[in-house]
C-alpha cells in the first residue's frame, strides 16, 4: 500500500498539480527538530500559493471537488488520492502517473476519517469572485443604471410605507375624538394618492428588475454556449448530461435575480428604519420586533447552511438522473432491441427514489421555515397588543400609537421573513452558479494570448516523439510516434481497432494534446496555433457522423458562409448523396430531424463526407468515410474523388476497406499505439500479404 508521511504526501500533491517546490524548500519552512504537522503544512501550502483545509469526510462522500487530496490513515500515515470512480480510489505515488486503484472498502479499514484538501489562494482571497464569477459580475456592472433605478424605487416605496401607520395614528388620536370629518376626507384623499404612487413605484421596480434579468439571461446564455464551444475537449466532463444539467440550472440563478426574491433582499435594510420609527412613536414597543428579529436571524443562518447541504445532495442526484436520461434517450433503440427495458427501468426507479427523497427533504425544510416565519408575524401582533395594553394603562402611548406600532412592526419584520425564505433559493442559486463557473473555468483552446494566427496552410505535418494517455492511471494509447507528412501527400493509416488511429487524428485536429512530444504544422507547434484559424484550413469527415436538425443545405454548409449550387452538386455527387437530394421534393431544403433521425446510416455518413469535400481544404481527413456504404457506392466514390482533389491538397485516410487504398500513395500501419510500418502503398501491401500468408502456414 502506498503510504507516506505528511511531508512526502504534500510533495506528491505539489508534483501532481505542478506547484514549484522541493523537499529543501520545506526544510527551510520548518524549525529544527520540528515535525511536519498541520501548521507546517499550512505554511508550506501558503508558500506554494495554496490553501489547505482539514475536514472530516467519509470515503463514499468524496467528490471530484475534493481532489487531489491527502487521506490521513491510522498510525500517522498518509495517502494521496487523485481520482475516484464507483467504489474505488486511485492512490498515487510521488510520481503521479504511477499508482493503483484501491477499493473503498479496503481503504476504510485504515482510514482515520480526516482529509486535507487544497485550493488556490486567489480563489479564497476573493469571495466575490467565487460567489459571482467575473463574467457574470461584468454583466451586473453594465446593468448598474437599471439597479440604481430599482434602489431608488425601493427607497421611495419603503418611505411611503410610513404613511399608513402615521395616518392610523392621526385618525385614532386626533380625528375620532374631535370628529373632524373634513380633515379626515382631505387626508384620505391624500392617502389614495400615496397608494396610487406606491402602486406605480412597485410596478416600475418589478419592471426594472425583470428587464435587467432579461438582459442578463440573454447575454449570459450566449456567453455560456460561446465559452463551452471554446473549451478543450479533454477538459470537458465525460457525460454530456452533466453539461446540460449545469447549464439548465442557470434558471435557478435567473429565478433568484428576478421577481420577489431580489426585491425582498433589497427591503432588508429598511428594518432599521421601521424599528427607529417604532421607537420614536412607542418607545419600549420597539423591543417586540427586535426580539423576533433576534430569533429569526439564527434560524435563517441555520436554514441557509442546511439548504446548502441539501442543494449539494439534490444537485448530485439530479446530475445522475440527467446523465442516465441522456443515455437512455440517445440509445433507446438499442435498449429495445436488447430487451434491456426492465433493467433500465429498475435503475431509473432507484435514481428517481433518491431524487424524490432529496427533494422531499429540501421541501420539508422550506415548509418548516415558512411555518416559523408565518408564526413570527403573529407573534409580533400578539406581543405588540400585550405590551401595548400595559403602555396605554401607564399613559406612555395612545391607542392610535399602538395601532401604528402594530402596522410598523408587521412591516418591519416582513423583510426578515422574506430573507429567511430567500436564503433557501440563494443556496441553490449559488450552487448552480458555482457549478456553471466550474464548467466555464476549464481550460479553453485559445486561452493563451500569444496564439499564432494561421492565414494560410501548406500542409506539412510532423509528429515528434508523441505519446498520449487519457489519464494518469491508464496506459499509453500512443507511444513515441515519429511521423512526417509532406504537403499534397495521399496517406492511409491502417490498424486494428484500438491501435490509436482515431486518437492520432483527434490530436491532429487539436482536440486533445500530447502527453509527451510535439505536433508541428508547417514548422509551428500545434499548441501555439490559433485553432479556429487552423481548423478553417482543414476538412474532417469523422468516423461517427454529426448531423444536426435543420435542412440538408444547413448541414452541408456548417462552417461555411456561402457556396455556389454547382459546388454543392459536385460535393454531393462525389459523396454519392446526389441521388437522394434529387428524390427529395424540396431538394437541399429537405428537413432533417435532430441527429438525422429521418436519414439512414449511409445517408448521414454521405452527408458528412460531402460537407468535408465541400470545404476544399488544404488538409482533408477522412476517418472510415465509407464504413456505411455498399460496395457499389464505395466504388463510385473511389472513381470520383481523385477528380475533385487538387495536387496541393493533403489527404489522410483512415480505413479498413482495401478498396479505398487506391486513393493513396503511402500507407502507415499502426498496432498497439505504435507505427509498425510506413512505406509506399505497394510495398506495405506486399509486406502485409506476405505476413498474412506466413501466418496461415
**Domains detected in the chain:** 6-120 (3.90.70.10), 134-441 (1.20.1560.10), 486-514+526-695 (3.40.50.300)
SS3 463: strand
More confident residue, 167 or 221: 167
Alpha-helical segments (H) within 557-656: 565-575, 578-583, 601-615, 631-644
61-70, 139-148, 383-392, 396-405: least confident range: 139-148
For range 530-536, the mean pLDDT = 85
Write down the pTM of the prediction: 0.60
For residue 490, pLDDT over 90 is answered with yes
Three cell numbers written together for 670: 499502426
Angle, vertex CA 572, rays to CA 634 and CA 596, nearest 5: 90
Does residue 507 contact residue 519 with C-beta atoms inside 8 Å? yes
- Hey, which bits of 447-556 come out as E strands? 461-468, 478-485, 490-495, 516-521, 524-525, 538-541, 550-551
Nearest residue to 499 (alpha-carbon basis) of 689, 337, 655, 287: 655
* pLDDT tens per residue across span 125-158: 443 334 445 666 666 666 777 778 888 888 888 8
pLDDT at position 652: 93
| Dist. CA 387–CA 368, nearest whole Å | 28
Q: Quick check: 491 pLDDT over 90?
A: yes
> Is 697's pLDDT higher than 70?
no
pLDDT single digits (tens) 605-651: 999 999 999 988 889 999 988 888 888 889 999 999 998 888 889 99
Q: Checking DSSP bridges between strand 88-92 and strand 78-85, what pairing results, if any? A: antiparallel
Report, as an integer, the average pLDDT of 79-99: 75
H-helix or E-strand containing 388? helix 341-393
Cα dihedral 248/252/253/259 (nearest 10) = 130
The segment with the largest mean pLDDT, out of 47-61, 117-131, 437-451, 499-513, is 499-513
| Weakest mean pLDDT among 92-101, 171-180, 567-576 | 92-101
Rounded to an integer, the average pLDDT of 189-194 is: 89
C-beta atoms surrounding 457 within 10 Å: 19
Which residues lie below 8 Å from residue 111, measured CB to CB, with a gap of 6+? 59, 71, 72, 73, 74
Share of the chain above pLDDT 90, in %: 10
Q: What average pLDDT does the segment 243-270 reach?
A: 70
Of the candidates 64, 37, 35, 63, the residue with the CA atom closest to the CA atom of residue 52: 37
227 membership: H or E segment, kind and range = helix 181-230
C-alpha 220/C-alpha 249 separation (Å) is 13
Is residue 68 reached through a cis peptide bond, with omega within 30 degrees of 0 on the bond before it? Answer: yes
Sorting pLDDT into bands at 50, 70 and 90, what band is 162?
confident
Distances (CA, A) of 42 to 203, 496, 650: 53, 51, 55
CB 369 within 8 A of CB 299: yes
- List of long-range contacts for 674-683, beta carbons under 8 Å, 24+ apart: 674/478, 674/479, 674/480, 674/481, 674/500, 675/481, 675/482, 675/483, 678/483, 681/492
Angle formed at CA 292 by CA 289 and CA 298, multiple of 5 degrees: 135
**Of the listed ranges 42-46, 107-111, 441-445, the one predicted with least confidence:** 441-445
Taking residues 38-46, report their average pLDDT: 76
Mean pLDDT, the chain, rounded, equals 80
Q: In the structure, how many helices (H) and strands (E) does the chain have?
A: 27, 18
Indicate the SS3 state at residue 577: coil
**pLDDT value at 415 more than 80:** no
Which residues 6+ apart lie within 8 Å of 125 measured at CB? none
Q: Which residues contact 648 (CB under 8 A, 6 or more apart)?
A: 459, 487, 488, 618
Is residue 124 scored above 50 in pLDDT? Answer: no
Q: How confident is the model at residue 484 (pLDDT cuts 50, 70, 90)?
A: very high
User: Smallest Cα–Cα separation from 96: which of 86, 84, 111, 82?
Assistant: 82
Question: What mean pLDDT do residues 467-485 have?
Answer: 84
pLDDT of residue 21: 63
pLDDT at 608: 92
Q: What is the pLDDT of residues 293-347, one digit of tens each?
A: 888 778 777 777 777 677 777 777 777 787 788 778 777 777 877 777 888 888 8
Place of cell 509528429: 463
Min mean pLDDT across 23-32, 143-152, 421-430 is at 23-32
* Confidence check: pLDDT of 284 > 80: yes
- Residue 62 reports pLDDT greater than 70: yes
The better pLDDT of the pair 463, 35 is held by 463
- Choice among 30-44, 358-372, 402-416 with the minimum mean pLDDT: 30-44
Amino acid at each position: 500500500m502506498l503510504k507516506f508521511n505528511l511531508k512526502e504526501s504534500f510533495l506528491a500533491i505539489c508534483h501532481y498539480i505542478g506547484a514549484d517546490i522541493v523537499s529543501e524548500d520545506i526544510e527551510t519552512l520548518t524549525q529544527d527538530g520540528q515535525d511536519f504537522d498541520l501548521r507546517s503544512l499550512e505554511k508550506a501550502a501558503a508558500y506554494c500559493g495554496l490553501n489547505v483545509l482539514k475536514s472530516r469526510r467519509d470515503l463514499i462522500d468524496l467528490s471530484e471537488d475534493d481532489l487531489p487530496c491527502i487521506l490521513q490513515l491510522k498510525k500517522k500515515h498518509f495517502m494521496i488520492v487523485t481520482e475516484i470512480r464507483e467504489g474505488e480510489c486511485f492512490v498515487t505515488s510521488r510520481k503521479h502517473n504511477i499508482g493503483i486503484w484501491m477499493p473503498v472498502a479496503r481503504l476504510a479499514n485504515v482510514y482515520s476519517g480526516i482529509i486535507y484538501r487544497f485550493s488556490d489562494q486567489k480563489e479564497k482571497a476573493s469571495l466575490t469572485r467565487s460567489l459571482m464569477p467575473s463574467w457574470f459580475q461584468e454583466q451586473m456592472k453594465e446593468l448598474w443604471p437599471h439597479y440604481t433605478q430599482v434602489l431608488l424605487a425601493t427607497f421611495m416605496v419603503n418611505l411611503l410605507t410610513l404613511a399608513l401607520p402615521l395616518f392610523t395614528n392621526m385618525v385614532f388620536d386626533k380625528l375620532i375624538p374631535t370628529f373632524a370629518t373634513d380633515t379626515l376626507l382631505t387626508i384620505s384623499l391624500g392617502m389614495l394618492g400615496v397608494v396610487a404612487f406606491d402602486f406605480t413605484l412597485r410596478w416600475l421596480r418589478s419592471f426594472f428588475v425583470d428587464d435587467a434579468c432579461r438582459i442578463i439571461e440573454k447575454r449570459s446564455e450566449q456567453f455560456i454556449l460561446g465559452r463551452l464551444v471554446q473549451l478543450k475537449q479533454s477538459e470537458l466532463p465525460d457525460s454530456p448530461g452533466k453539461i446540460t444539467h449545469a447549464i439548465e440550472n442557470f434558471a435557478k440563478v435567473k429565478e433568484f435575480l428576478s421577481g420577489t426574491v431580489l426585491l425582498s433582499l433589497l427591503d432588508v435594510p429598511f428594518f432599521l428604519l421601521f424599528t427607529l420609527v417604532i421607537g420614536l412613536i412607542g418607545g419600549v414597543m420597539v423591543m417586540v420586533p427586535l426580539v423576533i428579529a433576534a430569533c429569526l436571524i439564527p434560524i435563517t443562518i441555520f436554514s441557509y447552511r442546511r439548504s446548502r447541504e441539501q442543494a449539494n445532495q439534490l444537485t448530485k442526484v439530479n446530475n445522475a438522473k440527467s446523465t442516465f436520461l441522456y443515455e437512455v434517450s440517445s440509445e433507446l433503440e438499442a435498449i429495445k432491441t436488447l430487451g434491456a427495458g426492465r433493467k433500465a427501468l429498475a435503475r431509473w426507479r432507484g435514481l428517481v427514489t433518491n431524487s424524490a427523497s432529496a427533494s422531499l427533504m429540501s421541501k420539508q425544510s422550506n415548509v418548516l421555515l415558512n411555518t416559523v416565519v408565518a408564526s413570527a408575524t403573529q407573534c409580533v401582533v400578539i406581543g405588540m397588543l400585550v405590551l401595548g395594553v400595559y403602555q396605554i394603562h401607564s399613559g406612555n402611548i395612545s391607542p392610535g400609537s399602538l395601532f401604528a406600532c402594530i402596522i410598523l412592526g408587521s412591516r418591519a419584520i416582513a423583510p426578515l421573513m422574506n430573507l429567511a425564505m430567500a436564503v433557501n433559493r440563494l443556496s441553490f442559486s449559488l450552487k448552480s452558479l458555482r457549478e456553471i463557473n466550474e464548467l466555464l473555468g476549464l481550460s479553453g483552446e485559445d486561452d493563451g494570448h500569444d496564439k499564432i494566427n494561421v492565414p494560410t496552410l501548406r500542409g506539412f505535418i510532423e509528429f515528434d516523439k508523441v505519446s498520449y494517455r487519457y489519464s494518469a492511471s491508464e496506459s499509453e494509447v500512443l507511444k513515441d510516434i515519429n511521423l512526417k507528412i509532406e504537403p499534397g501527400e495521399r496517406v492511409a493509416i491502417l490498424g486494428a481497432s484500438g491501435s490509436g488511429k482515431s486518437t492520432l487524428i483527434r490530436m491532429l485536429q487539436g482536440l486533445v494534446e500530447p502527453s509527451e512530444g510535439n505536433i508541428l504544422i508547417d514548422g509551428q507547434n500545434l499548441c501555439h496555433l490559433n485553432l479556429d484559424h487552423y481548423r478553417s484550413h482543414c476538412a474532417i469527415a469523422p468516423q461517427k457522423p454529426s448531423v444536426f436538425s435543420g435542412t440538408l443545405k444547413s448541414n452541408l454548409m456548417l462552417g461555411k458562409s456561402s457556396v455556389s449550387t454547382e459546388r454543392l452538386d459536385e460535393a454531393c455527387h462525389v459523396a454519392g448523396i446526389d441521388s437522394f437530394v434529387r428524390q427529395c421534393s424540396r431538394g437541399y431544403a429537405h428537413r432533417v430531424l435532430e441527429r438525422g433521425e429521418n436519414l439512414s446510416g449511409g445517408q448521414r455518413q454521405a452527408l458528412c463526407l460531402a460537407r468535408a469535400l465541400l470545404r476544399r481544404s488544404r488538409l482533408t481527413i477522412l476517418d472510415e468515410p465509407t464504413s456505411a456504404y455498399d460496395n457499389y457506392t464505395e466504388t463510385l466514390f473511389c472513381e470520383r474523388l481523385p477528380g475533385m482533389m487538387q495536387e496541393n491538397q493533403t489527404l489522410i485516410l483512415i480505413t479498413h476497406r482495401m478498396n479505398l487504398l487506391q486513393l493513396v500513395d503511402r500507407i502507415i500501419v499502426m498496432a498497439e499505439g505504435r507505427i509498425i510500418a510506413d512505406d509506399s502503398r505497394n510495398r506495405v501491401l506486399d509486406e502485409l500479404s506476405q505476413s498474412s500468408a506466413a501466418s496461415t502456414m
